[in-house]
């Protein structure tokens, strides 16, 4: 038991790349117009969905693993203070140095200072959501340090001067022909005969990075797991670029969100089953590295671990929303989401796209910075179909979290045009004469429609049609039909024949 | 207040604002499983082949011949200092014994690396290396383009929990499931990016 002194104050929200520049509906409209992107994302998500179902289906205890994973994550959050201190102690005891970062700016400053101290102006990077969240590459560049992304998809994004669009496969929006074009344009010494065979494209990336790996002085990674009990850190990957970065340089800097902890080493037995099967749809990813501090004669001799808050404690203070911190970044929810499949990741604006991003971004960075906070639109970027909940390996109830965020948004927004409209609708619908009058008036709506659809209503109802088309009102309402001679004749006939009828 | 105290204070505040429930962890998934040797072998071979690793079933006695066949055509092989040298009795190329002083670019001149292994998980086809003297430092099994790895059937366990239970958390550990691969281009799996593009598993069924 810890003693608590004074009134607890709500922790501040995070900063960095957790908010887009425009709300989801506007951003999605642009993305939906890009047929190449829709084709690429559609094909990729279909492929991964089938693979995931095959490998999760073959484990008879998949549901028990999910339940254990969810409970372990809940336990981590419940015991976070003691586990963080235990983790720090274990890493330090094994020769590592632990740094704490309150927000993105502080984490960037710590990493920049550590890189400067090595005298190097180039760092290699392992794919990491946390460093993308804090905008580390841009910060390093402004300090004259060049960060080279070594994951193939991140490299494609970096060379194409592009933004990632998927947690696991950041270049999911690019097809092989586009990737070939980027490589030909940006890689020095690339074979001009390079074709778009994925094997040849991978070979080109291997050549491009090989020499850099051999002379690397500093690398920066994220962490999939940090084990409180032992101080062990782990990175799960496929290509071997992670192993290169974690093994070859003299100095390794790992940036880890403080929710990434697991209590004990044995808990890996759950997560090493949940993560690969959910993310790449493989029984196991090709490579997983685990290291504990510094090992004499093997790998980096200097190890820094940066523990990142950046809004995680703000999410933790939300009894319902804290469940988003269970996320292990597998991206299964993206691949099953009918919204993500059509819009791709860019429309979400934040580092974290898809269903989990729609929950995590408002949780970490807030959604009430102003009347037009783009994050406030994210909880509505969902049909609440529930596919994400079923796919989540740690059973995050994303639909319920979205509804809770919608509730918080409405509460915060106060008397809006929409809530005024709902009140008015309630008054109209509770009185038959008023309702008839309103329905007659609604027929005027036919004037606004084209092809059976209304695409834009005037304010205040424009809030509804910003994100949706509305069917035009019918020529006559059910009540008008019910009152007609035609309906009476139909009903009489049906009654005589003793059966239902088709109107 | 420094960052550490601030962040820990925020965590405590958050939990005071929204007190968490006591959590019991249901561990009803399969643990401590036993699997007959024949089944472990069949499952492992199936998984390894699925990853497009080269599998060589052999015996203790035939180790040297099998290793020599896997290393056919390779001029220079690196080995960790604690490797059983008898495994190389049939190999005629140059053997380089690794040590922490060997600079990384020298490892790039090796045609292959030959090591033992710590434990292997049949169900996922995963070989665990833990830096023991017969496995060497991590760079050795990473830089060369071909990795020949000797796995004894007695060290093959059924599933992930059984394998994790055999690890020493303090040792730098690498889990290898097939050759280096990427699915980053249209989610098609392609073998061979930065790690060894060819993985030979020499599976000794009587050891």
Nearest chain A Cα distance for residue B140, angstroms: 10
Residue B7 has its nearest CB partner, among A4, A199, A313, at A313
Number of domains in chain B: 1
**How many Cβ atoms are within 10 Å of A483's Cβ, its own excluded?**
12
Is residue A443 packed enough to be buried (19+ CB in 10 Å), middle (13-18) or exposed (0-12)? Answer: middle
The answer, yes or no, to whether residue A498 has pLDDT greater than 90, is no
Asked if B170 and A152 come within 8 Å (Cβ–Cβ), the reply is no
pLDDT tens digit string along A90-102? 999 999 999 999 9
Domain harbouring B195, CATH code: 3.40.50.10420
CB of B190 less than 8 A from some CB of A: yes
Report chain A residues whose CB lies below 8 A from the CB of B45: none
The answer to whether position B85 is within a domain reads yes
The answer to whether position B92 is within a domain reads yes
Report chain B residues whose CB lies below 8 A from the CB of A298: 100, 131, 137-139, 172
* Residue A403 φ/ψ, nearest 5 degrees: -65, -40
- The pLDDT-based confidence of A502 (bands split at 50, 70, 90) is low
Most A CBs within 10 Å, among B184, B192, B201, to test the A interface? B184
pLDDT at site A418: 65
Q: Which residues between 25 and 44 in chain B have a beta carbon less than 8 angstroms from any beta carbon of chain A?
A: 25-31
Over residues A78-93, mean pLDDT: 98
Asked if A241 and B193 come within 8 Å (Cβ–Cβ), the reply is yes
- The pLDDT-based confidence of A467 (bands split at 50, 70, 90) is low
The answer to whether position B191 is within a domain reads yes
Strands B190-191 and B181-182: antiparallel
pLDDT tens digit string along A185-240? 999 889 999 999 999 999 999 999 999 999 999 999 999 999 999 999 999 999 99
Q: Is the ipTM of this complex over 0.90?
A: yes
Higher pLDDT, A414 or A386: A386
The answer to whether position B27 is within a domain reads no
Most A CBs within 10 Å, among B2, B9, B11, B199, to test the A interface? B11
Identify whether the C-beta of residue A121 lies closer than 8 Å to the C-beta of residue A145.
Answer: yes
Asked if A198 and B185 come within 8 Å (Cβ–Cβ), the reply is yes
Asked if A240 and B105 come within 8 Å (Cβ–Cβ), the reply is no
The answer to whether position B125 is within a domain reads yes
The answer, yes or no, to whether residue A2 has pLDDT greater than 60, is no
User: Structure tokens of A412?
Assistant: 């915060």
| Structural domain harbouring B109 | 35-204
User: Structure tokens of B159?
Assistant: 């599933």
Q: SS3 for A363-398, per residue?
A: HHHCCCCCCCCHHHHHHHCCCCCCHHHHHCCCCCCH
Q: In chain A, what percentage of residues exceed pLDDT 70? A: 95
Asked if A47 and B160 come within 8 Å (Cβ–Cβ), the reply is no
Asked if B193 and A239 come within 8 Å (Cβ–Cβ), the reply is yes
Domains along chain A with CATH numbers? 93-313 (3.40.50)
pLDDT at site A1: 43
CB of B91 less than 8 A from some CB of A: no
pLDDT at site A135: 97
Over residues B150-158, mean pLDDT: 98
CA atoms within 13 A of residue B79's CA, in its CB half-sphere = 22
Sheet holding A302-308, edge to edge: A97-101, A302-308, A251-257, A218-221, A122-125, A146-149
Q: DSSP secondary structure string, B29-59?
A: S--S----HHHHHHHHHHHHHHTT-EEEEE-
Higher pLDDT, A46 or A440: A46
pLDDT at site A7: 86
d(CA A262, CA A430): 54
Nearest chain A Cα distance for residue B154, angstroms: 20
CB pairs under 8 A between A and B: 272
Asked if A244 and B165 come within 8 Å (Cβ–Cβ), the reply is no
- The separation between the first and the last C-alpha atoms of chain A, rounded to the nearest angstrom, is 69
The answer, yes or no, to whether residue A503 has pLDDT greater than 60, is no
CB of B49 less than 8 A from some CB of A: no
The answer to whether position B3 is within a domain reads no
**Strands in A66-167 per DSSP E:** 97-101, 122-125, 146-149
**Any idea of the CA torsion for A28, A33, A34, A38, to the nearest 10 degrees?**
70
Report chain B residues whose CB lies below 8 A from the CB of A151: 184
d(CA B150, CA B58): 10
The answer to whether position B12 is within a domain reads no
pLDDT tens digit string along B14-36? 999 999 999 999 999 999 999 99
CB of B123 less than 8 A from some CB of A: yes
Asked if B18 and A241 come within 8 Å (Cβ–Cβ), the reply is no
Least confident of A114-128, A312-326, B167-181, B182-196: B182-196
Model confidence, pTM: 0.91
B29's CB contacts (< 8 A; 6+ apart) are A61, A64, A65, A68, A270, A273, B161
The answer, yes or no, to whether residue A414 has pLDDT greater than 80, is no
The answer to whether position B132 is within a domain reads yes
Most B CBs within 10 Å, among A202, A217, A234, to test the B interface? A202
| Helices A268-279 & A35-57 angle (0-180, nearest 10) | 140
Q: Which residues between 247 and 276 in chain A have a beta carbon less than 8 angstroms from any beta carbon of chain B?
A: 247-248, 258, 265-266, 268-270, 272-273, 276
Residue A272 has its nearest CB partner, among B3, B160, B165, at B160
Mean pLDDT (chain A) is 92
């Amino acid at each position: 038991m810890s003693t608590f002194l004074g009134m607890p104050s709500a922790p501040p929200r995070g900063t960095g790349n957790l908010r887009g520049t425009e709300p989801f509906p506007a951003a999605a409209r642009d993305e939906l117009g890009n047929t190449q992107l829709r084709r690429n994302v559609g094909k990729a998500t279909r492929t991964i969905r089938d693979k995931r179902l095959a490998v999760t289906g073959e484990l008879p205890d998949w549901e028990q693993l999910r339940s254990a994973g969810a409970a372990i994550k809940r336990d981590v959050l419940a015991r976070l203070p003691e586990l963080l201190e235990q983790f720090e102690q274990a890493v330090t005891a094994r020769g590592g140095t632990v740094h704490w970062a309150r927000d993105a700016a502080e984490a960037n400053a710590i990493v920049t200072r550590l890189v400067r101290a090595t005298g190097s102006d180039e760092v290699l990077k392992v794919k990491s959501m946390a460093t993308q969240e804090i905008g580390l590459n841009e910060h390093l560049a402004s300090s004259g340090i060049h960060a080279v992304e070594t994951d193939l998809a991140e490299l494609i994004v970096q060379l194409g001067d592009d933004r990632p669009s998927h947690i696991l496969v950041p270049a999911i929006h690019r097809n092989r022909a586009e990737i070939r074009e980027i490589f030909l344009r940006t890689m020095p010494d690339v074979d001009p005969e390079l074709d778009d065979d994925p094997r040849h494209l991978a070979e080109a990336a291997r050549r491009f990075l090989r020499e850099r790996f051999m002379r690397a002085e500093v690398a920066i990674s994220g962490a999939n797991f940090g084990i409180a009990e032992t101080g062990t850190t782990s990175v799960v990957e496929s290509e071997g670029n992670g192993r290169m970065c974690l093994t070859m340089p003299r100095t390794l800097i790992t940036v880890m969100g403080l929710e990434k902890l697991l209590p004990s080493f044995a808990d890996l037995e759950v997560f090493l089953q949940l993560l690969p099967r959910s993310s790449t749809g493989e029984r196991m990813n090709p490579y997983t590295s685990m290291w504990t501090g510094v090992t004499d004669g093997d790998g980096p001799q200097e190890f820094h671990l940066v523990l990142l808050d950046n809004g995680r404690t703000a999410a933790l203070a939300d009894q319902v929303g804290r469940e988003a911190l269970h996320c292990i970044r597998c991206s299964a929810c993206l691949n099953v989401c009918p919204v993500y499949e059509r819009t791709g990741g860019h429309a979400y604006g934040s580092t974290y796209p898809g269903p989990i991003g729609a929950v995590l971004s408002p949780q970490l960075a807030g959604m009430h910075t102003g009347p037009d906070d783009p994050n406030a639109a994210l909880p509505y970027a969902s049909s609440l179909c529930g596919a994400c909940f079923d796919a989540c390996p740690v059973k995050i109830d994303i639909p319920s979290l979205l509804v809770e965020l919608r509730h918080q948004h409405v509460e915060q927004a106060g008397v809006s045009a929409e809530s005024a409209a709902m009140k008015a609708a309630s008054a109209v619908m509770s009185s038959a004469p008023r309702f008839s009058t309103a329905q007659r008036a609604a027929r005027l709506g036919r004037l606004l429609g084209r092809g059976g659809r209304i695409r834009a209503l005037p304010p205040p109802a424009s809030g509804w049609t910003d994100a949706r088309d509305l069917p035009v009102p019918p020529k006559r309402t059910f009540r008008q039909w019910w009152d007609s001679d035609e309906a009476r004749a139909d009903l009489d006939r049906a009654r005589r024949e003793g059966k239902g009828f088709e109107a | 207040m420094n960052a550490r105290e601030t962040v820990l204070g925020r965590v405590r505040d958050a939990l005071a604002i929204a007190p968490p429930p006591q959590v019991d962890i249901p561990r009803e998934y399969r643990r401590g499983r036993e699997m007959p040797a024949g089944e472990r072998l069949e499952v492992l071979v199936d998984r390894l082949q699925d990853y497009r690793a080269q599998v060589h079933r052999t015996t203790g006695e035939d180790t040297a011949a099998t290793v020599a066949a896997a290393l056919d055509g390779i001029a220079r092989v690196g080995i960790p200092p604690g490797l059983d040298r008898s495994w190389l009795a049939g190999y005629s190329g140059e053997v380089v014994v690794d040590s922490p002083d060997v600079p990384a670019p020298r490892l790039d001149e090796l045609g292959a690396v030959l090591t033992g292994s710590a434990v292997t998980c049949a169900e996922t086809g995963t070989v665990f290396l833990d830096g023991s003297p017969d496995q060497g430092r991590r760079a050795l099994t990473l830089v060369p383009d071909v990795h020949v790895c000797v796995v004894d059937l007695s060290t093959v366990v059924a599933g992930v929990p059984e394998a994790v239970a055999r690890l020493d958390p303090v040792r730098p550990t690498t889990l290898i499931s097939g050759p280096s691969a990427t699915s980053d281009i249209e989610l098609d799996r392609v073998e061979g990016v930065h790690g060894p593009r060819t993985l030979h598993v020499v599976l000794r069924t009587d050891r």
